[in-house]
């Protein structure tokens, strides 16, 4: 068992941050090992030395390549210190996709000038002080120019004249930019905003101020401003411009930029981004003075830029340094000891050896790790120690012990103590001035940062997936920034940037809107970059402000209010996080105070498993009554309620789900990290579900349990069974499986007693055969033009392949046109049945179509359809006619029917696709005549192996009818469940119409990558999808945040092997 001192030390070590951000580049360097990436550091200093020795021309740039976690950002941090200690300037270019390259460069220069880094004052003050020294002006004027005393127009004129006298060319050509930089450093906010407006080429609504301060009304271009700022900088020193996050920009592009050997192909999004970035980087050397450009990126990113741009881009950069893994075991041990030492000292812990609890012998494998992956591996071990309450020294880095599924839950009295403290803090904190213009840059980073840090804990983030960064001091571009790592390999990330904006003057408002937009790189086509403006007051009414607000929202920005209640919550959380009580994390995951604020519900959606809106505020303290007592048969599941109990009566420690209509909700599973059971409304299945999982994932068990839970609530299902593993839905377990939860035995008995399971076997007369008529019920839709058109489209889609008119030739286009017009004529003539339609087609009246020579084409198609009917008995042939009403209506005394349609009689994909098309057309017509009305769900249709029926990239006989169901069925109350082992193999419109999505175990790298891409569309990640065990799924849906669930075992018998064909037929006959 861990003693208190060890626990405190381990908790402190877990605060270790191994993933520096751009903001960290400006903070003092804590440690640096010369033995780690020393050659790359020397190359950086040599490159800067060339800029320092130059009298104007910029040297060749430097490419700092390295895989994820190799230390690129750390090296930039070290280089920033070296450059500034040598009297130079440092700037860091962040998100930029090339399309607004020069505006982004200007904002980068202005942000950098506001930073101090290793200087006592900002780089802007350093620059102006050096210019004052060149101009030989007195101390009083120098203090006014640097912003130490109020600035006057006379002071500014005198300074500009003095500099122009010393350096006529510089003073004449850069005088306006110089004036704007002095205004930017002024003490007066209005002067600062005017200077920034000019430097960012912002049109102004009050030209009088420009004239008063000697500024022209014509705006300079962004490139002109950047060049002039660089000229002023170069007259006083050399600069380093580091370009970071290129990898993230490329990864955030929606389509692949890989060259597949087709040089004439149109450039995809990342390729276009690479080209634009390359051209921008090429211009930097020509436009900037005495500036070395350092590009830090993955090798693949620079390769993409180099391959997609002209040779002159590569000619302007040296590609001589590549960061890699740790060079030796000794350096690995030295790195960990250096990071651990200050943390041990902060809590007064004396470790038995510097790398405790990682044995020195473990570092023999360190050369297999990057610096970051080594620290991540060490952190993983620290987590296991805390979760198992046992310090087990780590002897081998490669020997992993799986952590327990759940951390020990804090004692109820400790949770109650945190809750009481939170209530006390919310009532006592002062937040009255948080949204005042004079205070927002100080107060809002603290408050928003605390809220976001608490929110990440509430998500159960144990692997460092989220990172919270506060805005820079002074006049920040943003107040808080949340980063979510989506793919460590490509450095793909999702970003949320927050900024409060309470200023009222139009220039202040405009500058801050544009600054945030440029920082984030807002792009409506990239949903992984989000900017949130918080404003409680109205906007200035001028045309420029109105335009900027419109453009901000059109680019994907969110403008919303922040309530006093939310600010009190954030303020209370800030104190709690500083106090760091042992029960805090458990309390946060249970209560979710940050996630339940109105602001975060607007930005991130409701917390997982919660209802639409919980009342703000802390609620009542948690107490022993909120925990299951010894007499409780089982923990209360989310959504379960005592009769007559209302939502407000629920214990505040219970995570409640959205209320269902007509039932207790559908059980999805339990959250792996908390054990809380999650239910969703039965009605949510109307918005469809998709399951991405491979063999051995528990996909079939999940499908069966969803069907069974629906049957328990009186909802019937039609399920396609392509693999003979769903026909046992009516079989009881011979004995209760050990994985059943309390109450499952009773649910299984109720399910089997109240459910009518029927197995159908199309084209197998030895079972229970079906015959499908390929034409829908036209009579039901004759009075609805849109629905009739859809019915005609699906009928053509089903008949055309059978008539050999499914291709793309001119003849086949005419054939489908004749089919459509003939079907319309047939429908309005009151015709029914395939044989009658084929007879009509064989002798098509001239009035049935507008095409010439249609009769001959129709006759040929009629003969081809007759042949198809002969070759495929199912196609309009004998057997029990398909009636969805029969498939979905239970027999007397039963609650629901499950119609399992076995595909054993349809061996080829083409046969299955044709059958499913007819089934779906019939189902669509039936559900329209029998909508669910006020019932939460009228029926369920389940399609396993959906990639074979409605694939992406190609059309099958059932694609159109599947898409029609996916887009239209919900309004009639029919729910759809699609399951596939190939996340990108299923049609994207099916995925887009599925509100609930499950991601289970996959082991193919291609399918894992595809699943990650699909998940990222919901700004989520499935980083360990290849390590999920059977029955574990990531799930996301409306009212259900992205989280890992353990799904329950099915209620009907599910052995490891599937049924044989004969066993399926036996069940069909019974």
**Higher per-residue pLDDT: 634 or 958:** 958
- The Cα diameter of the chain in Å comes to 106
- Convert the pLDDT of each residue in 862-903 to its tens digit: 999 988 888 777 776 656 677 899 999 999 889 999 999 999
CA dihedral 439, 440, 446, 448 (to 10 degrees): 160
Say what percent of the chain tops pLDDT 90.
42
In angstroms, the CA 819 to CA 625 distance is: 70
In angstroms, the CA 313 to CA 305 distance is: 9
- Convert the pLDDT of each residue in 499-513 to its tens digit: 999 998 888 899 899
The answer on pLDDT for 240 being more than 60 is yes
SS3 484: strand
The confidence score (pLDDT) of residue 772 equals 67
Of the given ranges (211-225, 726-740, 869-883), which has the lowest mean pLDDT? 869-883
Count the Cβ atoms, other than its own, within 10 Å of residue 390: 11
- Please state, rounded to an integer, the average pLDDT across all residues of the chain: 84
683-772+878-1069, which class in CATH?
alpha beta
Top-ranked range on mean pLDDT: pick from 463-467, 651-655, 703-707: 703-707
Q: Is the pTM of this model over 0.85?
A: no
SS3 66: strand
pLDDT mean over 228-251: 89
Are the CB atoms for 622 and 415 separated by under 8 Å? yes
The answer on pLDDT for 94 being more than 80 is no
Q: Is residue 11 very low, low, confident or very high in pLDDT (cuts 50, 70, 90)? A: confident
The confidence score (pLDDT) of residue 983 equals 85
- Convert the pLDDT of each residue in 591-613 to its tens digit: 899 999 999 988 988 776 544 33
Distances (CA, A) of 541 to 26, 67, 209, 248: 37, 49, 19, 37
Q: Is residue 618 very low, low, confident or very high in pLDDT (cuts 50, 70, 90)? A: very low
Q: Is residue 226 very low, low, confident or very high in pLDDT (cuts 50, 70, 90)? A: very high
pLDDT mean over 742-752: 93
Q: Is residue 402 very low, low, confident or very high in pLDDT (cuts 50, 70, 90)? A: low
In angstroms, the CA 500 to CA 443 distance is: 10
- Counting Cα atoms < 13 Å in the Cβ hemisphere of 14 gives 20
Instruction: Taking each helix axis as running N to C, give the angle between helix 785-802 and helix 959-968, from 0 to 180 degrees, rounded to the nearest 10.
Output: 160
The confidence score (pLDDT) of residue 798 equals 79
**In terms of DSSP bridges, do strands 291-297 and 239-243 run parallel, antiparallel, or are they unpaired?**
parallel
Say what percent of the chain tops pLDDT 70.
88
The residues, any chain, with a CB within 8 Å of residue 138's CB and separated by 6 or more, are: none
Nearest alpha-carbon partner for 681 in 703, 705, 709, 704: 709
Of the given ranges (323-337, 939-953, 1038-1052), which has the lowest mean pLDDT? 1038-1052
Of the given ranges (284-288, 336-340, 492-496), which has the lowest mean pLDDT? 492-496
The answer on pLDDT for 16 being more than 70 is yes
The answer on pLDDT for 374 being more than 80 is yes
- Convert the pLDDT of each residue in 454-472 to its tens digit: 999 998 876 678 889 888 7
The residue ranges of every structural domain in the chain are 121-236, 412-604, 683-772+878-1069, 773-873
Q: Is residue 934 very low, low, confident or very high in pLDDT (cuts 50, 70, 90)? A: confident
Q: Is residue 1011 very low, low, confident or very high in pLDDT (cuts 50, 70, 90)? A: confident
**Higher per-residue pLDDT: 787 or 858:** 858
pLDDT mean over 536-558: 88
| Phi, then psi, of 113 in degrees rounded to 5 | -65, -30
SS3 1050: coil
pLDDT mean over 939-948: 94
The answer on pLDDT for 267 being more than 80 is no
- Convert the pLDDT of each residue in 298-343 to its tens digit: 888 888 777 765 556 677 888 866 787 899 999 999 999 999 999 9
The confidence score (pLDDT) of residue 773 equals 67
Checking 490-494 for CB contacts under 8 A at 24+ apart, the result is 490/247, 490/250, 490/251, 490/298, 490/300, 491/68, 491/247, 491/248, 491/251, 491/298, 492/248, 492/251, 492/252, 492/528, 492/1016, 493/248, 493/251, 493/252, 493/528, 494/528, 494/529, 494/530, 494/1016, 494/1019
Q: Is residue 418 very low, low, confident or very high in pLDDT (cuts 50, 70, 90)? A: very high
Distances (CA, A) of 565 to 427, 442, 502, 537, 568: 10, 19, 17, 17, 5
The answer on pLDDT for 653 being more than 80 is no
């Amino acid at each position: 068992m861990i003693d208190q001192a060890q626990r405190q030390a381990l908790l402190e070590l877990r605060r270790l941050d191994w993933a520096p951000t751009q903001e960290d580049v400006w903070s003092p360097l804590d440690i640096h090992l010369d033995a780690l990436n020393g050659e790359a550091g020397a190359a950086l200093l040599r490159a800067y030395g060339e800029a320092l020795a130059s009298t104007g021309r910029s040297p060749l740039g430097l490419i700092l390549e390295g895989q994820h976690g190799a230390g690129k950002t750390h090296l930039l941090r070290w280089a920033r210190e070296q450059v500034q200690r040598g009297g130079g300037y440092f700037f860091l270019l962040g998100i930029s996709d090339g399309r607004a390259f020069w505006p982004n460069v200007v904002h980068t220069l202005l942000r950098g000038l506001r930073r101090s880094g290793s200087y006592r004052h900002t780089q802007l003050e350093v620059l102006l002080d050096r210019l004052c020294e060149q101009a030989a002006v007195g101390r009083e004027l120098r203090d006014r120019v640097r912003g130490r005393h109020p600035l006057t127009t006379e002071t500014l004129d005198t300074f500009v004249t003095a500099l122009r006298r010393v350096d006529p060319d510089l003073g004449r050509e850069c005088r306006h930019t110089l004036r704007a930089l002095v205004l930017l450093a002024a003490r007066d906010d209005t002067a600062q905003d005017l200077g920034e407006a000019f430097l960012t080429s912002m049109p102004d609504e009050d030209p009088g101020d420009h004239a008063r301060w000697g500024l022209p009304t014509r705006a300079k271009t962004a490139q002109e401003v950047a060049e002039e700022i660089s000229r002023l900088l170069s007259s006083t020193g050399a600069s380093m411009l580091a370009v970071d996050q290129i990898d993230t920009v490329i990864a955030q592009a929606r389509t692949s930029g890989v060259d597949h050997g087709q040089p004439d192909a149109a450039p995809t999004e990342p390729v276009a981004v690479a080209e634009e970035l390359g051209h921008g980087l090429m211009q930097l050397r020509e436009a900037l003075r005495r500036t070395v450009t350092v590009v830090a990126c993955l090798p693949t990113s620079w390769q993409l830029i180099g391959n997609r741009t002209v040779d002159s881009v590569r000619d302007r950069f040296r590609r001589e340094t590549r960061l890699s893994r740790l060079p030796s075991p000794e350096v690995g041990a030295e790195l960990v000891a250096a990071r651990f030492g200050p943390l041990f000292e902060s809590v007064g812990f004396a470790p038995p050896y510097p790398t405790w609890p990682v044995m020195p012998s473990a570092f023999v494998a360190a050369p297999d790790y990057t610096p970051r992956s080594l620290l991540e591996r060490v952190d993983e071990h620290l987590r296991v120690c805390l979760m198992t309450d046992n310090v087990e020294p780590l002897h081998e880095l490669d020997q992993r012990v799986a952590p327990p599924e759940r951390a020990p839950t804090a004692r109820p009295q400790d949770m109650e103590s945190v809750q009481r403290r939170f209530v006390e803090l919310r009532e006592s904190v002062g937040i009255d001035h948080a949204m005042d213009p004079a205070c927002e840059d100080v107060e809002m980073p603290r408050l928003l940062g605390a809220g976001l840090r608490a929110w990440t804990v509430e998500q159960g983030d144990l692997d460092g997936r989220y990172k919270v960064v506060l805005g820079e001091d002074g006049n920040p571009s943003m107040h808080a920034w949340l980063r979510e790592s989506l793919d460590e390999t490509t450095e793909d990330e999702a970003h949320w940037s927050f900024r409060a904006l309470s200023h009222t003057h139009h220039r202040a408002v405009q500058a801050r809107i544009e600054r945030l937009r440029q920082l984030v790189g807002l792009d409506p086509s990239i949903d992984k970059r989000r900017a949130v403006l918080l404003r409680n007051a109205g906007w200035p009414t001028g045309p420029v402000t109105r335009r900027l607000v419109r453009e901000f929202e059109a680019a994907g920005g969110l403008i919303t209010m922040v309530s006093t209640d939310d600010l009190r919550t954030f303020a209370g959380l800030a104190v709690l996080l500083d106090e760091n009580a042992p029960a805090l994390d458990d309390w946060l995951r249970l209560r979710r105070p940050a996630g339940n604020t109105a602001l975060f519900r607007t930005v991130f959606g409701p917390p997982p498993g919660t209802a639409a809106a919980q009342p703000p505020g802390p609620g009542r303290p948690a107490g022993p009554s909120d925990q299951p007592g010894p007499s409780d048969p089982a923990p209360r599941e989310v959504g379960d309620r005592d009769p007559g109990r209302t939502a407000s009566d629920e214990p505040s420690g219970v995570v409640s789900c959205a209320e269902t209509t007509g039932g207790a909700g559908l059980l999805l599973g339990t959250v792996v990290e908390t054990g809380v059971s999650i239910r969703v409304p039965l009605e949510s299945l109307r918005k469809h579900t998709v399951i991405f999982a491979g063999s051995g994932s528990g996909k079939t068990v999940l499908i069966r349990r969803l069907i069974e839970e629906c049957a328990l609530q009186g909802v019937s299902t039609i399920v396609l069974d392509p693999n003979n593993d769903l026909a046992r839905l009516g079989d009881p377990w011979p004995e209760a499986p050990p994985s059943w939860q309390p109450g499952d035995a009773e649910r299984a008995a109720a399910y089997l007693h109240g459910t009518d399971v029927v197995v159908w076997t199309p084209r197998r007369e030895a079972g229970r055969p079906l015959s499908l008529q390929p034409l829908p019920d036209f009579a039901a839709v004759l009075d609805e033009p849109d629905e009739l058109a859809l019915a005609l489209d699906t009928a053509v889609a089903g008949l055309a392949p059978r008539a050999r008119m499914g291709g793309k030739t001119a003849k086949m286009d005419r054939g489908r046109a004749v089919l459509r017009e003939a079907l319309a004529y047939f429908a309005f003539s009151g015709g029914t049945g395939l044989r009658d339609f084929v007879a009509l087609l064989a002798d098509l009246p001239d009035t049935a179509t507008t095409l010439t020579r249609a009769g001959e084409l129709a006759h040929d198609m009629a003969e081809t359809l007759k042949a198809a009917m002969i070759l495929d008995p199912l196609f309009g042939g004998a057997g029990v006619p398909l009636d969805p009403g029969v498939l979905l209506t239970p027999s007397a005394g039963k609650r629901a029917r499950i119609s399992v349609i076995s595909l054993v009689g349809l061996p080829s994909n083409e046969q299955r696709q044709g059958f499913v098309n007819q089934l779906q057309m019939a189902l669509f017509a039936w559900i329209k005549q029998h909508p669910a009305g006020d019932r939460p769900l009228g029926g369920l249709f389940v399609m396993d192996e959906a990639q074979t029926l409605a694939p992406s990239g190609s059309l099958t006989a059932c694609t159109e009818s599947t898409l029609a169901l996916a887009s239209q069925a919900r309004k009639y109350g029919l729910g759809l469940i699609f399951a596939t082992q190939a996340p990108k193999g299923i049609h994207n419109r099916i995925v887009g119409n599925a509100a609930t999505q499950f991601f289970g175990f996959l082991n193919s790298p291609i399918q894992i990558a595809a699943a990650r891409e699909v998940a990222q569309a919901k700004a989520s990640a499935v980083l360990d999808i290849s390590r999920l065990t059977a029955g574990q799924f990531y799930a996301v849906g409306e009212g259900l945040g992205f989280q890992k669930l353990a799904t329950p075992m099915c209620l009907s018998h599910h052995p490891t092997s599937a049924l044989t064909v004969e066993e399926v037929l036996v069940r069909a006959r019974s």
